Amino acid sequence: MRQISSEQYKQNLKAKKFLIWLFIISSFMMFAALTSGFIVYTAGSAERGLKTILPQAFKYSSAVIIISSITMHLAYLSGKRLQFSKQKLYLIITISLGFLFTYFQFSAWQTLTEQGVFFVNYNASQSFVYIFSGAHLVHILAGIIMLFFALAGVYQNIPQVRNIFRLEVSSIFWHFIDILWIYLYVFLLLNQ
């Protein structure tokens, strides 16, 4: 069996990191297209406006995701400093905050339905709220899976270069979905 050199291994990791950046760019383009679609749909017509007050749960989920971005950064720093117990703790906290974010999203959807705002209705701008938050939630769940892989690596005592790679890729993606949610939330606030 052929042995992979350290330099080849690092090149392989760079290629994988490039793939995560391509995914982030394509996700950004998808959300840019969705928000553009919302703007085009609502342009020039008060009848097509959002006409709803956003649930408080969106505000809470925004706070949660900002805090989770901080704990993700702390996990990354802990991994670089070889403080593996802290790395585990911060990853577990970040994963827990990801699940709390998910809870708040479902809570927001429940509040919207109680207000009479449904996914399928005569006003497509209200449907966009579900599309924005739902598509973002899919990204959150993907991020949680990545965080579980990073956490599993610490428990499996993988080589440090792989540990840092998993942390770095997870961190890049998690910070992206954090910024993405803040963008979506502010966009919805400005258009409510």
176 within 8 A of 65, measured Cβ to Cβ? no
CB atoms within 10 A of CB 46: 7
One pLDDT digit (tens) per residue for the chain, 192 residues: 455 555 666 667 777 888 999 999 999 999 999 999 998 888 867 677 777 889 999 999 999 999 999 999 999 999 999 999 999 999 999 999 999 999 999 999 999 999 988 888 877 888 899 999 999 999 999 999 999 999 999 999 888 888 999 999 999 999 999 999 999 999 999 887
What's residue 9's pLDDT?
63
What's residue 1's pLDDT?
45
Q: In the chain, where are the structural domains located?
A: 6-190
Exposed (0-12), middle (13-18) or buried (19+): which is 127, by Cβ within 10 Å?
middle
| Region 6-190: CATH code | 1.20.120.80
155 within 8 A of 88, measured Cβ to Cβ? yes
